[in-house]
A and B are shown apart, each in its own frame.
Chain A
Amino acid sequence: MNESSDLQRFQELIEASAERELTEVETAFIGRMGFRSEQCRQWLEADAEVVAAAVEQDPLRTVPAATTLDWARVDAGLRRAGALPDSRAQSRNAWPLLPAAAALLLCIGVINAILRDGLSTTPQAPPEVVAEVLDLPEGDGSLILHEGDDEGVLMIILSNG
């Protein structure tokens, strides 16, 4: 086929595609000629420049960016679906590290002070000291220290809450 008959068939097939479904061979012909033939390409894109200029005027050419609040909603949905890590779980996992280390240091200091100076002036057997981190509400980070002797119990509560 020569170029003009190719162009004619190209045009006919493109026009026909609005009315009926093209065969695989016809579609392949359009694809091939649309790339190979300068004439076909020019005819195919005859309206391209005008339409592209009009698209420049479309407000949707520049889509207003989603706000931080919008993204927070999407993030929350993705977290619920398990696509993003749960930030609360992360903070739960991270909490023991710093506050617990600080609480432990304080605890050791208090225990040392009690062992060194005692709680009263009366001689007595070495006090029994029990330190424990209670299962308090999330993020509380409280630390309670018991000091027991014959006369009672001293309870020290260290809290980062």
Chain B
Amino acid sequence: MDVEQDDEDRRLVHRHLSGDVGGFEDLYRRHRERIFAVLVRMLRNREDALEATQEVFIRIHRGLDSFDPSGRFLTWAYRIATNHAIDRIRRRKVRKETPIVEESVAAGSDLRTGRSSQPQGADAMEREEIATAIHDAVGELGDAHRIVFTLHCYENLSYGEIAAVLGIPVGTVMSRLYHARRKIRDALPGDWDPGGPSRSRERKPE
């Protein structure tokens, strides 16, 4: 997280509050991909995440005058996105989630770039096994653990930042993250070696 980016965010918030409609539009275009990504990871459903992104930005727009400029806009936006994701998860408990992992693993490609990254043979099987295991394990975490785990392991937020986003003590973040990690670790194949041959090969230049 970057100081210049934070300053630019504050400037855009100020523009919006001064009556310039372009201020919010710029904030939205600047952060929509990031908010969308975090919502996909929390909701684990692309369509839901897209709809949630729209609702989150509507909430952000309505609440911008309550944003404290001494804080970070992104932390504030993450808080709104996280609370919204939790609301949605609770509302849709009975709905079946789309198994995103299957389509992307089956396609064997980086869907962002369209490049094929399909590994061959044993490597492919190992990667697919790990991909499925991690995806399922994260999906099976309780909401509170999953949110903390997602913010730390996918969004790279620190303990302190997560505490600020969720409005909970750092000690709670630490204990939730510990339990989430242990559940994930237990779900991985016992003999999986993250420093094993597939990762070594991955680092070699082609």
Contact = CB atoms under 8 A, between A and B. Distances in A.
Contacts of A18: 179
Interface string B164-206: 0000011111111111011011001000101100010000000
Number of chain B interface residues as a range: 35 or more
A101 interface: no
Given A51-B184, A53-B199, A63 B127 contact: no
Given A54-B184, A55-B134, A66 B33 contact: yes
A118 interface: no
A34 B159 contact: yes
Contacts, number: 147
A98 interface: no
Contacts of A61: 154
A68 interface: no
Given A50-B188, A74-B54, A58 B36 contact: no
Interface residues of A, number: 47
Interface string A36-75: 0000000011011111111101111111111000110110
Dominant secondary structure at the A interface: helix
A55 B187 CA distance: 12
A138 to B, nearest CB: 21
Contact of B175 (A13, A55, A59, A82): A13
Interface stretch (B65-73, B76-84, B87-95, B98-106): B98-106
Given A54-B188, A84-B21, 4 more contacts: A17-B176, A54-B134, A62-B111, A74-B50
Interface of B: 21-22, 24-25, 28, 32-33, 36-37, 40-41, 44, 46, 50, 53-54, 57-58, 61-62, 100-101, 104-105, 110-112, 127, 130-131, 133-135, 138, 153-154, 159, 169-179, 181-182, 184-185, 188, 192, 194-195, 199
